[in-house]
Amino acid sequence: MTYVVTDNCIKCKYMDCVEVCPVDCFYEGENMLVIHPDECIDCGVCEPECPANAIFPDTEPSLESWLKLNAEYASVWPNISVKCEPPTDSKEFDGVINKFEQFFSPRPGQGDGGCEDGGPAKVQPVNGEPPGLGQDP
């Protein structure tokens, strides 16, 4: 069992979760985070910390495709354990539906040390299906 990051993280990326995770199992994409299912110990600490309510236990129904996405990108994106400033337009995207189809970026984020100058890189929307994913979450 593991927790998974889902749609509403995309372009919100508040990152409160990474500060409280005891096992540093978050990995950073350009505009969302994912959890490494083999490193998550299912402690549940991150779930209530997420201002976007984007984190769920994988026991919730219909999360298979998100679990797959988390596992796949956790193995290629860099680890993140220190919170950076969220994107300045986070709040505007909080609650927008179907963000995956519109905005998901398969590109990696900067990981730890990437936000030393005070904020993450500006994020451009990326359309199209990410490589290796058979179905949209």
Minimum distance, C-beta of residue 110 to other proteins, in the bound complex (Å): 19
- Write the DSSP assignment of 8-57 as a string of letters: GGTTT---HHHHH-TT--EEEBSS-EEE-TTT-----SSGGG-TT--EEE
The distance of Cα 35 from the centroid of its chain, to the nearest Å, equals 7
> Is residue 2 within the footprint of other proteins (CB under 8 A)?
yes
Q: Could you say which residues in the range 41-70 bind other proteins, by CB under 8 A?
A: 41-45, 49, 67-68
> Is residue 37 within the footprint of other proteins (CB under 8 A)?
yes
> Is residue 133 within the footprint of other proteins (CB under 8 A)?
no
Q: Considering the complex, state which of residue 44 and residue 95 has its C-beta at the smaller distance from other proteins.
A: 44
Contact 32, 11 (CB under 8 A): yes
Which of the ranges 7-15, 33-41, 96-104, 115-123 carries the binding residues for other proteins, by CB under 8 A?
A: 33-41
Contact 42, 3 (CB under 8 A): yes
Contact 54, 60 (CB under 8 A): no
Q: How far is CA 31 from CA 13, 22, 59, in A?
A: 6, 23, 25
> Is residue 33 within the footprint of other proteins (CB under 8 A)?
no
> Is residue 125 within the footprint of other proteins (CB under 8 A)?
no
User: Could you tell me how many residues of this chain bind other proteins (CB under 8 A)?
Assistant: 23
Binding site for other proteins (CB under 8 A): 1-2, 19-20, 22-24, 37-45, 49, 67-68, 71-72, 75, 81
